[in-house]
Amino acid sequence: MDFNLTQEQQQIREEIRRVCGEFRDAYWRDIDKKRDYPDAFVRRLTELGWLAALIPEEYGGSGLGITEASIILEEINRSGGSATVCHAQMYTMGTLLRHGSEEQKRRYLPKIAGGELRLQAFGVTEPNAGSETTRIETTASRRGDRYVIHGQKIFISRVLQSDLMLLLARTTPYDELKDKTQGLSVFIVDLREAKGKIEVKPLDLMINHHTNALFIDGLEVPAENLLGQEGVGFRYIIDGWNAERILVAAEAIGDGRWFVERAAKYANERIVFGRPIGANQGIQFPIAQAYARIEAADLVRFQAATKFDRKERCGAEANMAKLLASEAAWEAANACLTTHGGYGFAAEYDVERKFRETRLLTVAPVSNNLVLAYLAQHVLGMPKSY
């Protein structure tokens, strides 16, 4: 049992910290205020190769593991930024790597690694299906050498900032299926060729997330852009869930550490009643409590990541890491806000922005309720609750 990062992992952490140091609080605050996309930041990470961490070397990436990818995302959030602006390239990578054909990988991966193409959009959620993905209604019908897609998606992030999107659509009607997890397929959609066929309606959300409703009407996708086999797309999506949960956990750990550091600093500096507010247990205990919870969640995150990279089963650990880390980050956010008093609500302190951003991690990309349902059913053997 070794709880230390390798020298290479430590170097990655330090290098990301250094790059993020080029994009300070004021940068993120301004982007948030203007509801902009942090293009300069994403381009810098891309040109340094960090967003190609999970792409194998033979396709132009660095062939790192999920452990290293998670350190990259953690450090972005820990620096005060938001890894959500670019994490999808890592979330979705496994689907393409595991299930894409050699031809598809050669066509897309080197360009993604080199920054020529962006794959930051992932279209799964629909208004009528919600968390019940097997109920999605967007249909893809085969017409000769193409699929024609009609339907509606909701909460699809970074469509306007991406060249490519992975899209989940129904290829067999729900009522015709014995096994309801079948009948869905994943497509690589070239958004540059989709103009006029996908209406993208940006959503006005609590956070700056570049998230949209999509109205898809007669989108034609070449059959060669089907990923893997027709009808087993839901399986491919599930295959990516452990990686996704580990990466979200790391982002939450990064947020949690940012909140704890900011809170402890402010608690030491702010003098009220003639002494630092951090001398009061009402201020210091919640910060210490959050710190302990973040450290505990971090151990589960590294356990999950290590198992993932060793290709061992890690569903339980990945789900627990996501649950514990997102809750610990939210606890740290509250402690930090309380510590800052009224200033916690002032944009210039950045607490309110990070507070809004970290809350998302308990809900998306998967709600903690469904994480608990997974643990209850698949780990503890209790009946399905839905």
Ligand X SMILES: Cc1cc2nc3c(=O)[nH]c(=O)nc-3n(C[C@H](O)[C@H](O)[C@H](O)COP(=O)(O)OP(=O)(O)OC[C@H]3O[C@@H](n4cnc5c(N)ncnc54)[C@H](O)[C@@H]3O)c2cc1C
Q: Is 156 in the site for ligand X (CB under 6 A)?
A: yes
Q: Is 366 in the site for ligand X (CB under 6 A)?
A: yes
Q: Is 92 in the site for ligand X (CB under 6 A)?
A: no
Q: Is 288 in the site for ligand X (CB under 6 A)?
A: no
Q: Is 233 in the site for ligand X (CB under 6 A)?
A: no
3-state secondary structure of 146: strand
Q: In which residue are the tokens 């450290």 written?
A: 295
Among 171, 211, 225, 303, binds ligand X (CB under 6 A): 211
Closer residue to ligand X, CB minimum distance, 155 or 241: 155
Q: Are 259 and 326 in contact (CB under 8 A)?
A: no
Among 123, 183, 315, 344, binds ligand X (CB under 6 A): 123
Q: Is 213 in the site for ligand X (CB under 6 A)?
A: no
Q: Are 95 and 186 in contact (CB under 8 A)?
A: yes
3-state secondary structure of 164: strand
Binding window for ligand X (CB under 6 A); candidates: 41-49, 119-127, 321-329, 336-344: 119-127
Residue 9: CB partners within 8 Å, gap ≥ 6? Answer: 67, 68, 71
Closer residue to ligand X, CB minimum distance, 162 or 225: 162
Q: Is 131 in the site for ligand X (CB under 6 A)?
A: yes
The first and second tokens of residue 26, run together, are 């004021």
DSSP states along 165-230: EEEEEESS-GGG-SSTT-SEEEEEEEGGG-TTTEEEEE---SS---EEEEEEEEEEEEGGGEESST
Task: Identify the CA nearest to 80 among candidates 234, 258, 290, 215.
Answer: 258
Q: How far is the CB of 212 from ligand X (least distance, A)?
A: 9
Q: Report the amino acid identity of residue 171.
A: T
Q: Is 155 in the site for ligand X (CB under 6 A)?
A: yes
Q: Is 79 in the site for ligand X (CB under 6 A)?
A: no
Q: How far is the CB of 63 from ligand X (least distance, A)?
A: 26
First to last CA, the chain: 39
Residue 320: CB partners within 8 Å, gap ≥ 6? Answer: 300, 304, 375
Pair type for strands 146-157 and 139-143: antiparallel
For 55, which DSSP code? S
Apex 65 CA angle, 48 and 123, nearest 5:
80
Closer residue to ligand X, CB minimum distance, 59 or 236: 236
Among 247, 314, 360, 361, binds ligand X (CB under 6 A): 360
Helices (H) and strands (E) in the chain, counts: 13, 10
Binding window for ligand X (CB under 6 A); candidates: 72-80, 236-244, 251-259, 368-376: 368-376
Q: Is 209 in the site for ligand X (CB under 6 A)?
A: yes
Among 35, 313, 367, 378, binds ligand X (CB under 6 A): 367
Query: Binding residues for ligand X, how many (CB under 6 A)?
Result: 22
Q: Is 383 in the site for ligand X (CB under 6 A)?
A: no
Q: Is 369 in the site for ligand X (CB under 6 A)?
A: yes
Q: How far is the CB of 269 from ligand X (least distance, A)?
A: 33
| Cα distances (Å, whole numbers) of residue 165 to 1, 136, 318 | 40, 17, 25
Among 124, 167, 294, 323, binds ligand X (CB under 6 A): 124
Closer residue to ligand X, CB minimum distance, 211 or 339: 211
Q: Is 315 in the site for ligand X (CB under 6 A)?
A: no
Q: Name the site residues for ligand X (rule: CB under 6 A).
A: 122-125, 130-131, 155-157, 205, 209, 211, 360, 364-367, 369-370, 373, 385-386
